[in-house]
Amino acid sequence: MKRFLRKLKLHTPDEMERAIIFRAQRNAYIFLAIALFLWSIYESYRVYNHNGRLNLLPCFLLVAAVIIQTLSRLVMTRNAVKDDEDSYETGPLINIVALLCVIFSIILTIVSAVVLTGVRL
């Protein structure tokens, strides 16, 4: 049964497999962040030079990816050190609350700008 599950890749990865998976995910994340950044720059250039309609999708995807990555890192750090008495990581909860306030402020600013300028999405 274990061989069958291993062939289907439905097993618990060992340390080397976890390191390989982590590197692959990191490389994919970096690629996507760079691609979304370049797409955002291209869209801004196109709107500026050709007076076209602004496509906000790459900007929203880039911001969402960074927010999700930061929030998950903070939560994982908090869960990893919550029972450790020797840890100096005492402030992840404060960082999570601050990040959520920043996210809320960004969303509120974008919605206000869209409403006040009359931009149609």
Q: What is the DSSP annotation of 21-82?
A: HHHHHHHHHHHHHHHHHHHHHHHHHHHHHH------HHHHHHHHHHHHHHHHHHHHHHHHHT
Q: What is the pLDDT of residue 28?
A: 87
Answer with the residue of higher pLDDT: 35 or 56: 35
What is the pLDDT, as a whole number, of residue 36?
Answer: 85
Residue 9: predicted pLDDT: 63
**Domain of residue 98, residue span:** 2-117
Q: How many domains does the chain have?
A: 1
pLDDT at 119: 60
Cα(121)–Cα(4) distance, rounded to whole angstroms? 50
| 96-111 residue pLDDT tens | 778 788 888 888 887 7
pLDDT tens digits, one per residue of 16-39: 888 888 888 888 888 988 988 898
